[in-house]
Chains A and B, each alone.
Chain A
Protein backbone atom coordinates (compact mmCIF):
# COMPACT_ATOMS: atom_id res chain seq x y z
CA UNK A 1 0.00 0.00 0.00
CA UNK A 2 1.12 3.50 -0.67
CA UNK A 3 2.08 5.24 2.52
CA UNK A 4 2.04 8.71 1.09
CA UNK A 5 -1.03 9.94 2.91
CA UNK A 6 -0.95 13.23 4.69
CA UNK A 7 1.90 13.26 7.18
CA UNK A 8 -0.27 15.46 9.39
CA UNK A 9 -2.55 12.55 10.13
CA UNK A 10 -2.03 9.68 12.50
CA UNK A 11 -3.07 6.34 11.08
CA UNK A 12 -5.29 4.27 13.28
CA UNK A 13 -3.78 0.80 13.26
CA UNK A 14 -4.33 -2.36 15.23
CA UNK A 15 -1.41 -1.93 17.58
CA UNK A 16 -2.60 1.56 18.49
CA UNK A 17 -6.06 0.22 19.29
CA UNK A 18 -4.45 -2.29 21.64
CA UNK A 19 -2.42 0.44 23.37
CA UNK A 20 -5.47 2.63 23.78
CA UNK A 21 -7.50 -0.25 25.17
CA UNK A 22 -4.79 -1.06 27.68
CA UNK A 23 -4.50 2.62 28.52
CA UNK A 24 -8.17 2.57 29.43
CA UNK A 25 -7.64 -0.65 31.40
CA UNK A 26 -10.22 -2.47 29.31
CA UNK A 27 -10.08 -6.17 28.53
CA UNK A 28 -10.68 -7.33 24.96
CA UNK A 29 -14.00 -8.76 26.09
CA UNK A 30 -15.11 -5.43 27.59
CA UNK A 31 -14.13 -3.38 24.56
CA UNK A 32 -15.59 -5.88 22.11
CA UNK A 33 -18.92 -5.65 23.94
CA UNK A 34 -18.80 -1.86 23.81
CA UNK A 35 -18.21 -1.70 20.09
CA UNK A 36 -20.36 -4.67 19.15
CA UNK A 37 -17.80 -7.07 17.66
CA UNK A 38 -16.77 -10.55 18.76
CA UNK A 39 -13.77 -10.74 21.08
CA UNK A 40 -11.94 -12.91 18.56
CA UNK A 41 -12.52 -10.22 15.91
CA UNK A 42 -11.17 -7.51 18.21
CA UNK A 43 -8.11 -9.66 18.79
CA UNK A 44 -7.63 -9.92 15.01
CA UNK A 45 -8.21 -6.17 14.71
CA UNK A 46 -5.42 -5.48 17.19
CA UNK A 47 -3.15 -7.70 15.14
CA UNK A 48 -4.03 -5.77 11.99
CA UNK A 49 -5.90 -8.66 10.39
CA UNK A 50 -9.47 -7.48 10.83
CA UNK A 51 -10.89 -4.38 9.22
CA UNK A 52 -14.27 -2.89 9.97
CA UNK A 53 -16.83 -0.43 8.70
CA UNK A 54 -17.11 3.22 9.62
CA UNK A 55 -19.85 2.66 12.21
CA UNK A 56 -17.60 0.36 14.24
CA UNK A 57 -14.56 2.59 13.83
CA UNK A 58 -16.45 5.59 15.15
CA UNK A 59 -17.64 3.53 18.12
CA UNK A 60 -13.99 2.77 18.92
CA UNK A 61 -13.05 6.45 18.78
CA UNK A 62 -16.02 7.29 21.00
CA UNK A 63 -15.17 4.62 23.57
CA UNK A 64 -11.66 5.96 23.91
CA UNK A 65 -12.90 9.57 24.15
CA UNK A 66 -9.56 10.69 22.87
CA UNK A 67 -8.15 14.08 23.31
CA UNK A 68 -6.39 14.98 20.11
CA UNK A 69 -3.02 15.45 21.75
CA UNK A 70 -3.40 12.12 23.46
CA UNK A 71 -3.37 10.28 20.17
CA UNK A 72 0.42 10.19 19.98
CA UNK A 73 0.57 13.87 20.78
CA UNK A 74 1.16 15.89 17.70
CA UNK A 75 1.25 19.09 19.72
CA UNK A 76 0.55 18.79 23.42
CA UNK A 77 2.28 15.55 24.30
CA UNK A 78 5.93 14.44 24.20
CA UNK A 79 7.64 14.40 20.84
CA UNK A 80 10.91 12.55 21.44
CA UNK A 81 10.80 8.73 21.35
CA UNK A 82 11.96 8.53 24.95
CA UNK A 83 9.32 10.86 26.35
CA UNK A 84 6.67 9.35 24.09
CA UNK A 85 7.50 5.93 25.49
CA UNK A 86 7.34 7.35 29.02
CA UNK A 87 3.96 8.87 28.23
CA UNK A 88 2.69 5.56 26.83
CA UNK A 89 3.90 3.72 29.94
CA UNK A 90 2.19 6.29 32.16
CA UNK A 91 -1.09 5.63 30.38
CA UNK A 92 -0.94 1.95 31.19
CA UNK A 93 -0.71 2.61 34.96
CA UNK A 94 -3.64 2.40 37.34
CA UNK A 95 -5.30 5.63 38.48
CA UNK A 96 -3.66 5.31 41.87
CA UNK A 97 -0.23 4.76 40.33
CA UNK A 98 -0.75 7.71 37.96
CA UNK A 99 -1.60 9.90 40.96
CA UNK A 100 1.59 8.79 42.71
CA UNK A 101 3.64 9.59 39.60
CA UNK A 102 2.03 13.04 39.36
CA UNK A 103 2.82 13.66 43.05
CA UNK A 104 6.39 12.56 42.51
CA UNK A 105 6.76 14.85 39.48
CA UNK A 106 5.33 17.72 41.52
CA UNK A 107 7.78 16.93 44.31
CA UNK A 108 10.70 16.94 41.85
CA UNK A 109 9.53 20.20 40.34
CA UNK A 110 9.34 21.82 43.77
CA UNK A 111 12.75 20.40 44.61
CA UNK A 112 14.29 21.90 41.49
CA UNK A 113 12.60 25.27 41.95
CA UNK A 114 14.98 28.02 43.12
CA UNK A 115 14.13 29.20 46.60
CA UNK A 116 11.96 32.31 46.62
CA UNK A 117 13.16 34.54 49.46
CA UNK A 118 9.89 36.44 49.40
CA UNK A 119 7.89 33.33 50.24
CA UNK A 120 7.02 33.43 53.91
CA UNK A 121 7.92 30.35 55.85
CA UNK A 122 4.99 29.00 57.85
CA UNK A 123 5.30 29.48 61.58
CA UNK A 124 5.25 25.79 62.39
CA UNK A 125 8.17 25.18 60.03
CA UNK A 126 10.25 27.88 61.74
CA UNK A 127 10.33 25.81 64.85
Chain B
Protein backbone atom coordinates (compact mmCIF):
# COMPACT_ATOMS: atom_id res chain seq x y z
CA UNK B 1 0.00 0.00 0.00
CA UNK B 2 1.34 3.42 -0.94
CA UNK B 3 1.96 6.07 1.71
CA UNK B 4 -0.91 8.11 0.28
CA UNK B 5 -3.29 5.18 0.64
CA UNK B 6 -2.00 4.44 4.13
CA UNK B 7 -2.63 8.03 5.13
CA UNK B 8 -6.16 8.00 3.76
CA UNK B 9 -6.89 4.63 5.33
CA UNK B 10 -5.77 6.05 8.69
CA UNK B 11 -8.03 9.08 8.16
CA UNK B 12 -10.93 6.77 7.32
CA UNK B 13 -10.43 4.58 10.37
CA UNK B 14 -10.14 7.60 12.67
CA UNK B 15 -13.28 9.11 11.14
CA UNK B 16 -15.18 5.84 11.56
CA UNK B 17 -14.19 5.62 15.23
CA UNK B 18 -15.31 9.23 15.74
CA UNK B 19 -18.63 8.47 14.05
CA UNK B 20 -19.34 5.47 16.28
CA UNK B 21 -18.33 7.44 19.36
CA UNK B 22 -20.87 10.10 18.35
CA UNK B 23 -18.35 12.81 17.48
CA UNK B 24 -20.06 13.56 14.18
CA UNK B 25 -18.43 16.90 13.45
CA UNK B 26 -14.97 15.41 13.80
CA UNK B 27 -15.92 12.46 11.59
CA UNK B 28 -17.29 14.80 8.94
CA UNK B 29 -14.17 16.98 8.99
CA UNK B 30 -11.94 13.94 8.60
CA UNK B 31 -14.02 12.58 5.70
CA UNK B 32 -14.00 16.01 4.05
CA UNK B 33 -10.21 16.13 4.38
CA UNK B 34 -9.89 12.66 2.91
CA UNK B 35 -12.22 13.50 0.04
CA UNK B 36 -10.23 16.64 -0.80
CA UNK B 37 -6.97 14.69 -0.77
CA UNK B 38 -8.39 11.88 -2.94
CA UNK B 39 -9.58 14.48 -5.45
CA UNK B 40 -6.24 16.30 -5.49
CA UNK B 41 -4.48 12.98 -6.11
CA UNK B 42 -7.06 12.16 -8.78
CA UNK B 43 -7.71 8.80 -7.14
CA UNK B 44 -11.25 7.98 -8.29
CA UNK B 45 -11.55 4.86 -6.14
CA UNK B 46 -10.70 6.67 -2.92
CA UNK B 47 -12.86 9.63 -3.89
CA UNK B 48 -15.84 7.28 -4.31
CA UNK B 49 -15.09 5.59 -1.01
CA UNK B 50 -14.87 8.87 0.91
CA UNK B 51 -18.00 10.16 -0.84
CA UNK B 52 -19.97 7.16 0.46
CA UNK B 53 -18.51 7.46 3.98
CA UNK B 54 -19.28 11.18 4.07
CA UNK B 55 -22.94 10.58 3.17
CA UNK B 56 -23.18 7.92 5.89
CA UNK B 57 -21.99 10.52 8.41
CA UNK B 58 -24.53 13.09 7.21
CA UNK B 59 -27.32 10.50 7.49
CA UNK B 60 -26.27 9.82 11.10
CA UNK B 61 -26.44 13.57 11.71
CA UNK B 62 -30.02 13.63 10.34
CA UNK B 63 -28.83 15.93 7.58
CA UNK B 64 -29.95 15.69 3.98
CA UNK B 65 -27.54 18.10 2.33
CA UNK B 66 -25.83 15.51 0.20
CA UNK B 67 -26.08 14.62 -3.44
CA UNK B 68 -27.77 11.24 -3.75
CA UNK B 69 -27.13 11.21 -7.48
CA UNK B 70 -23.39 10.96 -6.76
CA UNK B 71 -24.02 7.61 -5.06
CA UNK B 72 -26.11 6.39 -7.98
CA UNK B 73 -23.35 7.45 -10.34
CA UNK B 74 -20.79 5.40 -8.39
CA UNK B 75 -23.13 2.41 -8.48
CA UNK B 76 -23.73 2.71 -12.22
CA UNK B 77 -20.08 3.29 -13.01
CA UNK B 78 -18.83 0.30 -11.07
CA UNK B 79 -21.73 -1.95 -10.09
CA UNK B 80 -19.53 -4.96 -9.43
CA UNK B 81 -16.96 -3.36 -7.18
CA UNK B 82 -16.75 -2.76 -3.44
CA UNK B 83 -17.48 0.94 -3.96
CA UNK B 84 -20.49 0.18 -6.16
CA UNK B 85 -22.00 -2.13 -3.55
CA UNK B 86 -21.21 0.37 -0.81
CA UNK B 87 -22.93 3.11 -2.83
CA UNK B 88 -26.05 0.93 -3.18
CA UNK B 89 -26.02 0.21 0.56
CA UNK B 90 -25.61 3.89 1.50
CA UNK B 91 -28.34 4.82 -1.01
CA UNK B 92 -30.67 2.41 0.77
CA UNK B 93 -29.88 4.08 4.09
CA UNK B 94 -30.38 7.53 2.59
CA UNK B 95 -33.77 6.64 1.13
CA UNK B 96 -34.83 5.08 4.43
CA UNK B 97 -33.85 8.28 6.25
CA UNK B 98 -35.99 10.23 3.77
CA UNK B 99 -38.93 7.87 4.33
CA UNK B 100 -38.72 6.69 0.71
CA UNK B 101 -39.14 3.08 1.65
CA UNK B 102 -39.74 1.48 -1.74
CA UNK B 103 -36.53 2.99 -3.06
CA UNK B 104 -34.72 1.95 0.10
CA UNK B 105 -35.84 -1.64 -0.47
CA UNK B 106 -34.69 -1.52 -4.09
CA UNK B 107 -31.18 -0.33 -3.22
CA UNK B 108 -30.87 -2.66 -0.24
CA UNK B 109 -31.78 -5.63 -2.45
CA UNK B 110 -29.32 -4.45 -5.09
CA UNK B 111 -26.58 -4.16 -2.45
CA UNK B 112 -27.43 -7.58 -1.05
CA UNK B 113 -27.34 -9.29 -4.43
CA UNK B 114 -24.04 -7.70 -5.46
CA UNK B 115 -22.46 -8.21 -2.05
CA UNK B 116 -23.28 -11.92 -2.22
CA UNK B 117 -21.86 -12.21 -5.73
CA UNK B 118 -18.65 -10.51 -4.65
CA UNK B 119 -18.55 -12.24 -1.24
CA UNK B 120 -18.57 -8.94 0.61
CA UNK B 121 -19.93 -10.37 3.84
CA UNK B 122 -20.06 -7.18 5.89
CA UNK B 123 -21.99 -5.33 3.21
CA UNK B 124 -24.33 -8.28 2.73
CA UNK B 125 -25.03 -8.22 6.46
CA UNK B 126 -25.58 -4.45 6.35
CA UNK B 127 -28.04 -4.81 3.46
CA UNK B 128 -29.94 -7.55 5.30
CA UNK B 129 -30.14 -5.27 8.33
CA UNK B 130 -31.60 -2.43 6.22
CA UNK B 131 -34.21 -4.81 4.80
CA UNK B 132 -34.99 -5.97 8.33
CA UNK B 133 -35.41 -2.44 9.69
CA UNK B 134 -37.76 -1.69 6.80
CA UNK B 135 -39.78 -4.77 7.76
CA UNK B 136 -39.73 -3.61 11.38
CA UNK B 137 -41.22 -0.26 10.40
CA UNK B 138 -44.13 -2.18 8.88
CA UNK B 139 -44.52 -4.35 12.01
CA UNK B 140 -43.51 -7.43 10.05
CA UNK B 141 -41.67 -8.72 13.09
CA UNK B 142 -41.30 -12.39 12.11
CA UNK B 143 -39.82 -11.58 8.70
CA UNK B 144 -37.52 -8.94 10.25
CA UNK B 145 -36.41 -11.52 12.79
CA UNK B 146 -35.63 -14.06 10.07
CA UNK B 147 -33.59 -11.52 8.07
CA UNK B 148 -31.61 -10.52 11.14
CA UNK B 149 -30.95 -14.10 12.09
CA UNK B 150 -29.64 -14.73 8.60
CA UNK B 151 -27.52 -11.60 8.81
CA UNK B 152 -25.97 -12.55 12.15
CA UNK B 153 -25.42 -16.19 11.19
CA UNK B 154 -23.52 -14.95 8.12
CA UNK B 155 -21.29 -12.75 10.26
CA UNK B 156 -20.80 -15.49 12.82
CA UNK B 157 -19.63 -17.93 10.15
CA UNK B 158 -16.96 -15.43 9.11
CA UNK B 159 -15.91 -14.74 12.69
CA UNK B 160 -17.21 -11.16 12.48
CA UNK B 161 -19.81 -11.24 15.22
CA UNK B 162 -17.91 -8.98 17.59
CA UNK B 163 -18.07 -5.82 15.50
CA UNK B 164 -20.01 -2.64 16.22
CA UNK B 165 -22.25 -3.36 13.26
CA UNK B 166 -23.00 -6.86 14.54
CA UNK B 167 -23.91 -5.34 17.91
CA UNK B 168 -26.49 -3.09 16.26
CA UNK B 169 -27.98 -5.99 14.29
CA UNK B 170 -28.09 -8.05 17.50
CA UNK B 171 -30.05 -5.30 19.23
CA UNK B 172 -32.50 -5.16 16.33
CA UNK B 173 -32.99 -8.91 16.58
CA UNK B 174 -33.53 -8.57 20.32
CA UNK B 175 -36.18 -5.93 19.70
CA UNK B 176 -37.98 -8.23 17.24
CA UNK B 177 -38.26 -10.88 19.95
CA UNK B 178 -39.42 -8.30 22.50
CA UNK B 179 -42.05 -6.98 20.08
CA UNK B 180 -43.20 -10.58 19.56
CA UNK B 181 -43.52 -10.89 23.34
CA UNK B 182 -40.55 -13.27 23.56
CA UNK B 183 -38.81 -11.12 26.13
CA UNK B 184 -36.90 -14.19 27.35
CA UNK B 185 -35.22 -14.39 23.93
CA UNK B 186 -34.88 -10.67 23.34
CA UNK B 187 -33.35 -9.48 26.60
CA UNK B 188 -30.09 -11.48 26.45
CA UNK B 189 -29.51 -10.30 22.89
CA UNK B 190 -30.01 -6.65 23.76
CA UNK B 191 -27.76 -6.97 26.81
CA UNK B 192 -25.08 -8.59 24.65
CA UNK B 193 -25.40 -5.80 22.10
CA UNK B 194 -25.08 -3.13 24.74
CA UNK B 195 -22.01 -4.60 26.38
CA UNK B 196 -20.35 -5.06 22.98
CA UNK B 197 -21.09 -1.47 21.96
CA UNK B 198 -19.79 -0.25 25.29
CA UNK B 199 -16.58 -2.23 24.99
CA UNK B 200 -16.03 -0.92 21.44
CA UNK B 201 -16.59 2.72 22.38
CA UNK B 202 -19.72 3.00 20.26
CA UNK B 203 -21.51 5.27 22.68
CA UNK B 204 -23.85 6.88 20.17
CA UNK B 205 -25.30 3.49 19.23
CA UNK B 206 -26.25 2.63 22.81
CA UNK B 207 -29.46 4.65 22.81
CA UNK B 208 -31.76 2.13 21.13
CA UNK B 209 -30.58 -0.87 23.14
CA UNK B 210 -31.20 1.16 26.32
CA UNK B 211 -34.65 2.10 25.07
CA UNK B 212 -35.38 -1.52 24.14
CA UNK B 213 -34.40 -2.68 27.63
CA UNK B 214 -36.67 -0.05 29.19
CA UNK B 215 -39.53 -1.27 26.98
CA UNK B 216 -38.91 -4.93 27.81
CA UNK B 217 -38.59 -4.35 31.54
CA UNK B 218 -41.74 -2.25 31.58
CA UNK B 219 -43.57 -5.00 29.69
CA UNK B 220 -42.62 -7.50 32.37
CA UNK B 221 -43.25 -5.00 35.18
CA UNK B 222 -39.66 -4.76 36.41
CA UNK B 223 -40.20 -1.11 37.07
CA UNK B 224 -36.92 -0.11 38.70
CA UNK B 225 -34.94 -1.63 35.84
CA UNK B 226 -37.26 0.04 33.34
CA UNK B 227 -36.66 3.36 35.07
CA UNK B 228 -32.87 2.94 34.98
CA UNK B 229 -32.78 2.04 31.29
CA UNK B 230 -35.28 4.74 30.41
CA UNK B 231 -33.18 7.42 32.10
CA UNK B 232 -30.12 6.14 30.29
CA UNK B 233 -31.88 6.10 26.91
CA UNK B 234 -33.21 9.62 27.47
CA UNK B 235 -29.73 10.92 28.33
CA UNK B 236 -28.21 9.35 25.22
CA UNK B 237 -31.05 10.56 23.01
CA UNK B 238 -30.57 14.11 24.27
CA UNK B 239 -26.79 13.92 23.98
CA UNK B 240 -26.89 12.80 20.34
CA UNK B 241 -29.95 14.78 19.26
CA UNK B 242 -32.16 11.77 18.53
CA UNK B 243 -35.67 13.15 18.78
CA UNK B 244 -37.36 9.78 18.31
CA UNK B 245 -35.37 8.29 21.18
CA UNK B 246 -36.13 11.27 23.41
CA UNK B 247 -39.87 11.09 22.74
CA UNK B 248 -40.05 7.33 23.25
CA UNK B 249 -37.96 7.59 26.43
CA UNK B 250 -40.26 10.25 27.89
CA UNK B 251 -43.27 8.09 27.08
CA UNK B 252 -41.84 4.89 28.55
CA UNK B 253 -40.56 6.67 31.65
CA UNK B 254 -43.94 8.29 32.20
CA UNK B 255 -45.64 4.90 31.90
CA UNK B 256 -43.10 3.40 34.28
CA UNK B 257 -43.71 6.11 36.89
CA UNK B 258 -47.47 5.71 36.49
CA UNK B 259 -47.08 2.03 37.25
CA UNK B 260 -44.95 2.92 40.26
CA UNK B 261 -47.59 5.34 41.49
CA UNK B 262 -45.14 8.24 41.20
CA UNK B 263 -47.58 10.62 39.57
CA UNK B 264 -45.46 13.76 39.85
CA UNK B 265 -42.56 12.07 38.03
CA UNK B 266 -44.95 10.70 35.41
CA UNK B 267 -46.37 14.18 34.91
CA UNK B 268 -42.92 15.59 34.32
CA UNK B 269 -42.33 13.18 31.44
CA UNK B 270 -45.83 13.51 30.00
CA UNK B 271 -45.33 17.27 29.95
CA UNK B 272 -41.93 16.93 28.30
CA UNK B 273 -43.52 14.69 25.68
CA UNK B 274 -46.45 17.08 25.19
CA UNK B 275 -43.95 19.85 24.40
CA UNK B 276 -43.24 18.02 21.13
CA UNK B 277 -46.92 18.28 20.19
CA UNK B 278 -47.97 21.89 20.82
CA UNK B 279 -51.09 21.43 18.68
CA UNK B 280 -52.40 18.76 21.03
CA UNK B 281 -52.85 20.46 24.41
CA UNK B 282 -54.91 17.61 25.88
CA UNK B 283 -52.17 15.06 25.28
CA UNK B 284 -51.11 14.75 28.90
CA UNK B 285 -54.69 14.16 30.03
CA UNK B 286 -55.16 11.46 27.42
CA UNK B 287 -52.00 9.66 28.40
CA UNK B 288 -53.05 9.62 32.04
CA UNK B 289 -56.04 7.56 30.96
CA UNK B 290 -54.85 5.57 27.98
CA UNK B 291 -51.90 3.22 27.63
CA UNK B 292 -50.31 2.86 24.21
CA UNK B 293 -48.09 -0.06 25.21
CA UNK B 294 -50.08 -2.55 23.12
CA UNK B 295 -49.84 -0.56 19.90
CA UNK B 296 -46.47 1.16 20.05
CA UNK B 297 -43.57 0.27 17.75
CA UNK B 298 -40.27 1.83 18.82
CA UNK B 299 -38.87 1.36 15.30
CA UNK B 300 -41.75 2.94 13.38
Contact = CB atoms under 8 A, between A and B. Distances in A.
Interface residues of A, number: 32
Given A1-B181, A49-B139, A6 B291 contact: yes
Interface residues of B, number: 34
A52 B297 contact: yes
Nearest to B260: A6
Contacts of B296: 51-54, 57
B30 to A, nearest CB: 33
Interface of A: 1-2, 4-6, 8-14, 17, 41, 44-45, 48-54, 56-58, 61-62, 66, 68, 71, 74
B251 A13 contact: no
Interface of B: 138-139, 179, 181, 183, 219-221, 244, 247-248, 251, 255, 258-259, 273, 277, 279-280, 283, 285-286, 288-298, 300
Closest 9 CB pairs of A and B: A51-B297, A53-B300, A9-B291, A1-B181, A50-B139, A4-B221, A11-B291, A2-B220, A51-B139
Contacts, number: 87
A4 B221 CA distance: 7
23 contacts: A1-B219, A1-B294, A2-B220, A5-B221, A9-B288, A12-B291, A12-B295, A13-B295, A50-B139, A51-B179, A52-B139, A52-B295, A52-B296, A52-B297, A54-B248, A57-B292, A58-B277, A61-B283, A62-B279, A62-B280, A66-B286, A68-B289, A71-B289
